[in-house]
């Protein structure tokens, strides 16, 4: 199935991100996904600092990661994402591909919610952000 990715970023595995087995530690993949989401939002001129100053808090409520292949030190890879609004949540579907062979290394699903002035938003804030 062809994915309709709307953003991608290229990154490279650093030595210190690998565990004793020589592969990227599982927790590091979450950082890769977060970095890609932040870069995507910046590309849309969305500033977390400015939103926070307006008492709008965007936050992760759930993360699922399916590990398919391991990345190792020096691997260059892309994190690709697409979005889907599901009720009060914005869902980021994020996939990581190794560039050398095109292998799918991780499938991720990140659900985000928003609080506006301390109250859970029904998701309308996502519409106003033009994601």
Burial of residue 95, with CB atoms counted within 10 A of its CB: 0-12 exposed, 13-18 middle, 19 or more buried:
buried
Is the whole model's pTM more than 0.85, yes or no?
A: yes
- The H or E element spanning position 16 is none
- How far CA 85 is from CA of 7, 65, 76, 78, in Å, comes to 16, 19, 30, 23
The pLDDT value recorded for residue 2 is 55
Please confirm, yes or no, whether 75 is among the known catalytic residues.
no
Task: Enumerate residues 6+ apart whose C-beta is below 8 A from 109.
Answer: 62, 63, 64, 91, 92, 93, 94
pLDDT at 114 over 70: yes
Q: Which of 19, 66, 95, 127 is catalytic?
A: 19
pLDDT at 1 over 70: no
Distance between terminal CA atoms of the chain?
A: 23
| Structure tokens that stand for 10 in this block | 């290229």
d(CA 75, CA 73) in angstroms, rounded, equals 6
Summarised one tens digit per residue, pLDDT across range 78-97 is 999 999 999 999 999 999 99
Confidence of residue 108 (pLDDT cuts 50, 70, 90): very high
Q: Cα-flanking dihedrals φ and ψ of residue 28, to 5°?
A: -70, -30
**Contact (CB, 8 A) for 111 and 62:** yes
Task: Enumerate residues 6+ apart whose C-beta is below 8 A from 36.
Answer: 7, 8, 9, 79, 81, 94
pLDDT at 6 over 70: yes
């Amino acid at each position: 199935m062809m994915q309709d990715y709307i953003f991608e970023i290229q990154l490279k595995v650093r030595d210190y991100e690998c565990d004793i087995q020589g592969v990227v530690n599982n927790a590091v993949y979450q950082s890769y996904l977060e970095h890609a989401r932040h870069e995507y939002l910046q590309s849309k001129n969305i500033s977390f600092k400015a939103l926070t100053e307006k008492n709008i808090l965007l936050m992760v409520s759930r993360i699922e990661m399916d590990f398919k292949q391991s990345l190792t030190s020096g691997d260059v890879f892309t994190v690709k994402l697409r979005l889907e609004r599901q009720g009060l949540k914005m869902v980021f579907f994020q996939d990581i591909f190794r560039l050398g062979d095109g292998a799918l290394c991780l499938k991720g699903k990140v659900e985000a919610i928003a609080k506006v002035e301390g109250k859970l938003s029904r998701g309308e804030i996502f519409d106003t952000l033009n994601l």
